[in-house]
Structure 1
Amino acid sequence: MMLEALAKELAAHPSIRGKLDIAASTKALGLSAAAVGRPGDDAAAIKCPEGGWDLFAGEGFMTQFVNDDPWFAGWCGVMVNLSDIAAMGGRATALLNTLWAPDVATAQPLLKGLKDAAVAYGIPIVGGHTNLRTTELNLSVSVLGHARQLISSFTANAGDVLIAAIDHRGHYRPRFDNWCAALDAPHDRLRGDYELLPLLAEAGLVQSGKDISQGGIAGTALMLAECSRCGFDIDLEAIPRPDGVEIGRWLRTFPSFGFLLSVDPAKATSVCKAFEARNISAVAIGHATDNAQINFKHEGSRATFWNYGIAPYLSLAKEASHA
C-alpha cells in the first residue's frame, strides 16, 4: 500500500472536499460552534427546561443521486436523518419532507421510498411541502428528536479510543459509494440498532461521536477531530471491511449504519460488545491525539490525511459546552 498516495487521493476526492462547502454557509450566516444548536454536530441540540435536549436535523440530496435512484433517495431521506438523531444519543419523533418534481408520476418512486422507510423504521411523516411544477426531481427531509443524554462532536479528548461501528451486512448501490445494509433487514432489527446509541449515552459509556456520513470514515474522523480540537491516528490494518472492498473506497464510503465514537479507553470494550451483540462490527481503529492531524498508519508507516490547523475543514471550533 502506498500510504502517502492514498492519503492524497482521499484528501482530493469530491466526497471529502464537498464538506468544505459548510464553512461558506456558516460564515455567511454568522454561525460558529458557540451558536444556538452548536453547528458542527449531527443535529442541533436545544436544552429543554424540563431536562434533556430537543434535536433538529435535516438533509438535502444531490440532484444526480435523486434522479438516478429516486426510490432509494426517498429511503435515504428517512434513514440518514434517523442516523443523525441516533448519533446525538437521541430518539427520532417525526419527519417532514420537501419535494420538487415536474409531475405526480415522476414523484411517485421517491414518495414510495419515503413511505417504505418510514414504515420500516417506525417513524411518522407528519407533513412537508410539495412542488410538482419544477424542471427536475429533488428532495430534502427534516427530523425532530429528543435526547436524555447527548453524544456530541465537541467532546472527544486526547487519549480516547476511536471506535468504528458499522453494519457490514449489505452491498453498494450502483454508481455511488453508498453501502446499504438496511433494505433486507427485519424492521425490528433496524429499530433496535438505532436504540443502541441512546442506550450507550444514557449508560455513560459514550459521550462523543458522529454518524459516518458522506466522506466516510476519513472525512467523519476529520470533522469530529476539528470540532473537538483533537487529532486522530487511524490504523488502517485495524479497520475491518466487507469482502472484496478495497481500503480507499471503504474509507470514503457512506454506510447506512455507521458511527465513529471517541471513547474513554476503560469503556471501549463494553461499547464494542454492545454492537457485537447485535452482529454489528465495532472495532477500535485508532486513538485521539493532542494535535490537529488525521494520520493514517499502516505497517509501521504514517501519512497525514489532513491537518485542519493548516487547512480548516468545517471552520468550527470547540468554543462552548452543551452542559
Structure 2
Amino acid sequence: MMIGASSFPAIAAAVRAGRGLAAKADIGAAAAALGLSGAGAVPVGDDCAAIPDGDGFLLFAIEGFMNEFVAADPWFAGWCGVMVNLSDIAAMGGRPVAVVDALWANGADEATPVLQGLRAAAERYGVPIVGGHTNVRADRRQLSVAVLGRARRLLTSFAARPGERLIAAVDLRGRYREPFANWEAATDAPGERLRADLALLPEIAEAGLARAGKDISQAGLVGTAAMLAECSGVGVAIDLAAVPAPAGVDPARWLMSFPSYGYLLAAAPADVPEILGRFTARGIVAGDIGTIDASGLVAVVHDGACETIWNVKAEPLLGCHPRREAA
C-alpha cells in the first residue's frame, strides 16, 4: 500500500476515529449487560460461538444489518446476509451447515429484493436457507441472518501468541460497492471458486498451520486486529507497506473497509510461507503484515514511524479477554 510520509499520521488518526472501530466498542456494553465474557464455558468475542460437540465444535453466529444499508441496496444486503455469516464460519476453521433469516419490510414488494439476494448467495455458495421469520407489515426494511456450522479444529480469536506473525489475506478481484466501504469481490465469482476459497480456512486449521484468526469485519483490518489482540491478550504492530491493497485505493479508506473475503491469521514464523502459498495458489493476495507481541498495543508502522491506534489492556474494546475477566 503506497503511503506518503506526510500522510501517515492523518491515516492513523482517521482509523483511530473510524465509525467501525467505535461500533465494535459498543459490544462491550452489551456483553456486560448480558453477563458475557471470554471467560465463559463458551467464550464470547469470537466470530462465532464455538460449542463443544463430540470431537469438534458446533459454530453459531448471527449478523444484523444497518437500516441504511438495507434500504439503499436491498439485494446486496440479502446477499451479504449469507456471505458474511459464511465468512464468520470459515474464520473459525469451520464449514457451514445451514442459514436462517429474519426479515421485516413494509409490504411484499419491499421484501422481494432482499429475499432474492439471500437466495442468490445461498445457491452460489451451496448452503441451504432452512427457514426464519418474515414480517411484511413493518414500517421499514430490517434484516438479520444467522448461520450454523461445524469445525473439526478451531481458529479462534483467543489463541494468538507473542512471537507469531500476523497474516492478512484479501481477495482484491473486486471493486467498491458505493456508497459504503464494502469491497465487493463475490457477486461475479463462480460458486466453485467461492466455496473453495472459503475452504482454505478450515484446511489451514486442520493442517495445524494456524490456531488464531479472525474475519476482517466492518471495523476494517486494523480494528479487526484490535479485537484479535484483546481476546488473545497480545499487541500487534502492522506494517502498512505489507498490507494487501488494490492499486490506487485511498489508504485510510482501505484500512477501514469491509472486504467480501478478508482474514487475519496468527501463525508461527516457520508456517507463514506455507499459509501464504495456499492463498496465492487460489489468486488471493496474502502477506505477512506484522508482529505479535505482549504489549497490548495495536499500532501501525510505516517507514520507521509508529502510531498507536488502541491500547487494548488500558481500554478494552470488547471487554472479552478471559484473563482480565478472571483476575
Q: Secondary structure at the match of 1:150?
A: coil
Residues 245-268 of structure 1, C-alpha deviation per residue, up to 9 Å, x if partnerless?
121111111000000001111100
Contact 2:37 2:322 in 1 (8 A): no
Residues 65-86 of structure 1, C-alpha deviation per residue, up to 9 Å, x if partnerless?
0000000000000000000000
- Structure 2 distance, partners of 1:73, 1:53, is 28
What is the count of residue pairs matched by the alignment? 319
Contact 2:170 2:244 in 1 (8 A): no
Residue number in structure 2 paired with 1:141? 145
Gap runs ≥5 in structure 1? none
Q: 19, 23, 39: which one pairs with 2:44?
A: 39
- Structure 2 distance, partners of 1:42, 1:194, is 15
- Residue 119 of structure 1 pairs with residue 120 of structure 2: no
Match of 2:42, as an amino acid?
Answer: G
Residue number in structure 2 paired with 1:230? 234
Residue number in structure 2 paired with 1:15? 20
- Structure 2 distance, partners of 1:65, 1:129, is 20
Shift of 1:201: 0.5
Alpha-carbon RMSD:
1.0
Q: Secondary structure at the match of 2:139?
A: coil
Contact 1:66 1:139 in 2 (8 A): yes
Q: 118, 125, 129: which one pairs with 2:133?
A: 129
Match of 2:199, as an amino acid?
Answer: E
- Structure 2 distance, partners of 1:101, 1:35, is 36
Residue number in structure 2 paired with 1:28? 33
Residue number in structure 2 paired with 1:159? 163
Q: Secondary structure at the match of 2:271?
A: helix
- Structure 1 distance, partners of 2:244, 2:133, is 41
Counting only pairs closer than 5 Å after superposition, residues 53-64 of structure 1 correspond to structure 2 as: 53-64=57-68
Contact 1:4 1:304 in 2 (8 A): no
Residue number in structure 1 paired with 2:273? 269
Contact 1:221 1:294 in 2 (8 A): yes
Contact 1:87 1:211 in 2 (8 A): yes
Q: Secondary structure at the match of 2:30?
A: helix
Counting only pairs closer than 5 Å after superposition, residues 231-270 of structure 1 correspond to structure 2 as: 231-270=235-274
Counting only pairs closer than 5 Å after superposition, residues 52-201 of structure 1 correspond to structure 2 as: 52-201=56-205
Identify which range, 235-244 or 122-131, moves more after superposition: 235-244
Residue number in structure 2 paired with 1:210? 214
Q: 306, 315, 318: which one pairs with 2:319?
A: 315
Q: Secondary structure at the match of 2:140?
A: coil
- Structure 2 distance, partners of 1:235, 1:243, is 17
- Structure 1 distance, partners of 2:75, 2:200, is 27
Shift of 1:47: 0.5
- Structure 2 distance, partners of 1:213, 1:244, is 22
Shift of 1:197: 0.5
Shift of 1:38: 1.2
Contact 2:155 2:211 in 1 (8 A): yes
Residues 79-137 of structure 1, C-alpha deviation per residue, up to 9 Å, x if partnerless?
00000000000000000000000110110000000000000000000000011111000
Q: TM-score, normalised by structure 1?
A: 0.97
Q: 1, 6, 11: which one pairs with 1:6?
A: 11
Shift of 1:6: 2.0
Q: Secondary structure at the match of 1:278?
A: coil
Q: Percent identity?
A: 52
Shift of 1:318: 3.4
Q: 289, 296, 301: which one pairs with 2:293?
A: 289
- Structure 1 distance, partners of 2:64, 2:241, is 34
Shift of 1:10: 1.1
- Structure 1 distance, partners of 2:41, 2:66, is 27
- Structure 1 distance, partners of 2:9, 2:315, is 18
Match of 2:13, as an amino acid?
Answer: K
Shift of 1:316: 1.1
Shift of 1:281: 0.5
Contact 2:89 2:149 in 1 (8 A): yes
- Structure 2 distance, partners of 1:85, 1:293, is 27
